C-alpha cells in the first residue's frame, strides 16, 4: 500500500507546467513510499511527460493511506466544481509552491494554492482558497484576494487592492495601488485582459481590456 499519493488534477498546459514543481516539493520532503500522478478524465493516453495519468475514479480507488489533490486548471469556475467533487469524495488538497517564491510577513493563503516560479507575495495579505499565481506575478501589501482567483504570468497586483472570487487576470496586467480605506476593487467573476492597466474599480461579471483598461463592448 502506498503511504501517500499526490494527484495533480488536469493534464493541460497548467497541469504540465506545475507538475515539476509538485514533484520537486515532494522530493524535498524525503517522504517514503509516496507517488504522484496526473488526474484527468479526458486525456487519451496513459502518461504525460513521464508521469502516469489516471481517471478521477481510479484515483479514488487507489489503496493509499492518504491521498491529496492539487487543482491545476486555470478556469476558476471549473476549479470550484472540481474542489466540490474532491470534497464529496473526502479528498483533501495540497498547495504547490516553487522554491524561488518570496512570501513575507503576515500572509495568509487558503488551501490548494499554486504559486509558480518567481512569484512574490509581500506583507499583510489575505488570499482565499485555490489561488493560482503564474510565473513572475506579484501581490503587494494590504491586498485581499478571494477564492478561485487566477493570475496569468506577470500580473502586477499593487497594494491596497481587493479582488473578489473567480476573477481572472491576464498576462502582464497591472492594477494600480489603492489607498487605505479606499482599495481598488475587482468585482466577482471579472476578467481582465492581458496587458491591461487597471486604474479604477472593475464591475462584477465584466471584461476590461486596454490601456487604460475599459469595459469590452460588442463590435
Report pLDDT digits (tens) over 183-217.
999 999 999 999 999 999 999 999 999 999 999 87
| pLDDT per position as a tens digit, 28-86 | 887 788 999 999 999 988 999 999 999 999 999 999 999 999 999 999 999 999 999 99
Q: Percentage of the chain surpassing pLDDT 70? A: 99
| pLDDT per position as a tens digit, 88-129 | 999 999 999 999 999 999 999 999 999 999 999 999 999 999
CB 157 within 8 A of CB 139: yes
Structural domains in the chain plus CATH codes: 2-94 (3.40.50.20), 97-210 (2.160.10.10)
Q: 29 or 87: whose pLDDT is higher?
A: 87
- 57's CB contacts (< 8 A; 6+ apart) are none
Give me the active site residues, please: 141
Three-class HEC string of 22-44: HHHHHHHHCCCCEEEEEECCCCC
Amino acid at each position: 500500500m502506498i503511504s501517500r499519493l499526490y494527484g495533480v488534477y488536469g493534464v493541460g498546459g497548467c497541469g504540465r507546467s506545475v507538475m515539476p514543481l509538485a514533484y520537486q516539493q515532494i522530493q524535498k520532503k524525503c517522504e517514503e513510499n509516496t507517488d504522484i500522478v496526473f488526474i484527468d478524465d479526458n486525456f487519451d493516453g496513459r502518461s504525460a511527460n513521464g508521469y502516469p495519468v489516471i481517471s478521477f475514479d481510479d484515483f479514488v480507488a487507489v489503496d493509499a493511506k492518504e491521498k491529496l489533490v492539487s487543482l491545476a486548471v486555470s478556469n476558476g469556475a471549473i476549479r470550484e466544481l472540481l474542489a466540490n467533487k474532491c470534497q464529496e469524495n473526502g479528498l483533501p488538497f495540497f498547495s504547490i509552491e516553487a522554491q524561488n517564491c518570496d512570501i513575507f510577513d503576515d500572509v495568509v493563503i487558503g488551501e490548494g494554492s499554486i504559486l509558480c516560479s518567481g512569484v512574490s507575495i509581500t506583507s499583510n495579505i489575505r488570499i482565499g482558497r485555490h489561488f493560482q499565481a503564474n510565473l513572475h506575478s506579484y501581490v503587494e501589501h494590504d491586498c485581499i484576494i478571494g477564492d478561485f482567483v487566477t493570475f496569468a504570468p506577470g500580473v502586477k497586483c499593487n497594494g491596497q487592492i481587493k479582488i473578489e472570487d473567480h476573477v481572472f487576470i491576464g498576462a502582464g496586467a497591472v492594477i494600480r495601488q489603492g489607498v487605505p480605506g479606499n482599495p481598488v476593487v475587482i468585482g466577482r467573476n471579472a476578467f481582465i485582459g492581458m496587458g491591461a492597466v487597471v486604474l479604477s474599480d472593475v464591475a462584477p461579471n465584466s471584461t476590461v481590456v486596454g490601456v487604460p483598461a475599459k469595459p469590452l463592448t460588442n463590435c
